[in-house]
Chain A
Amino acid sequence: EAEVAQSPRYKITEKSQAVAFWCDPISGHATLYWYRQILGQGPELLVQFQDESVVDDSQLPKDRFSAERLKGVDSTLKIQPAELGDSAMYLCASSLRDHKDTQYFGPGTRLTVL
């Protein structure tokens, strides 16, 4: 069964450092989502791509976060500089262009900022 791949699975960094997360969606999925899940809470959408275009980044803290999906396939989420409050699980999800109601999530990247 096809899955959303994410790496790394765990990342520990010091505040003010830069971190990057990678996501490879299920093949053929045009829509890609990055979510942040703080411990004990539900996921919150950071950014949504349709192919290589950003559809919604209204919740992305653009002063320090950036996301790209240059070829409309895999995607990178970057944080620079990282802050203590960024410690969370970063989840990537993908869906088919015509079936956006079904999102498939990857295993996530657990970020700890010291």
Chain B
Amino acid sequence: QQQVKQSPQSLIVQKGGISIINCAYENTAFDYFPWYQQFPGKGPALLIAIRPDVSEKKEGRFTISFNKSAKQFSLHIMDSQPGDSATYFCAASPISNTGNQFYFGTGTSLTVIP
């Protein structure tokens, strides 16, 4: 059973446009929501993360919007650049003392056209 559902599977955006990737979850125990960026042949790298006590977090051109009641969160990439072309994974985790079980979405392949 997929704990985190991610869409779309692939996305093509013009340079300068806005890229939007959506994720949804069911488990109300999740309280940490990171986004990872993965380039071909590389491991995922943490991009930005949010906790449910805020509805939005912005870091440079990257913004997470979080809707706790709808159990949805999304990544917005403003002024998308060709260098942003990568696969993006959302994840969710319940913070625990022993460690975080990260549940990843299925990924979105983003292509930014020059």
- The proximity string for B residues 44-75 relative to A, scoring 1 for CB distances below 8 Å and 0 otherwise, is 11100100000000000000000000000000
Is the CB–CB distance between A56 and B44 below 8 Å?
no
Is the CB–CB distance between A40 and B107 below 8 Å?
yes
- Given A40-B107, A101-B93, also A55-B98 (CB < 8 A): yes
- Given A42-B91, A43-B104, also A101-B98 (CB < 8 A): no
Determine the distance from Cα of A31 to Cα of B95 in the docked complex, in whole angstroms: 14
A45 interface contact, C-beta 8 A: yes
The residue that B44 contacts in the complex, of A41, A43, A100, with Cβ under 8 A, is: A43
Residues in chain B within 8 A of chain A (CB atoms): 4, 6, 32, 34, 36, 41-46, 49, 89, 91, 93, 95-96, 98-102, 104-107
Is the CB–CB distance between B99 and A55 below 8 Å?
yes
Q: Which 6 A-B pairs have the closest CB atoms?
A: A42-B104, A105-B43, A100-B100, A105-B44, A55-B98, A42-B89
Is the CB–CB distance between B43 and A91 below 8 Å?
yes
Is the CB–CB distance between B44 and A50 below 8 Å?
no
Is the CB–CB distance between B46 and A103 below 8 Å?
yes
Q: Which of B45, B99, B102 lies at the interface centre, i.e. has the most chain A CB atoms within 10 A of its CB?
A: B99
Size of the A side of the interface (Cβ < 8 Å), in residues, is 25
A25 interface contact, C-beta 8 A: no
Is the CB–CB distance between A100 and B99 below 8 Å?
yes
Question: Which residues in chain A, 36-54, are within 8 Å of chain B measured between CB atoms?
Answer: 40-45, 48, 50
The residue that B98 contacts in the complex, of A56, A93, A102, A105, with Cβ under 8 A, is: A56
Contacts of B104 on A, CB cut-off 8 Å?
42-44
A107 interface contact, C-beta 8 A: yes
A50-B99, A56-B99, A103-B102 are known; give 9 further A-B pairs, CB within 8 A: A4-B43, A43-B89, A56-B98, A56-B101, A93-B43, A100-B100, A101-B49, A102-B49, A105-B43
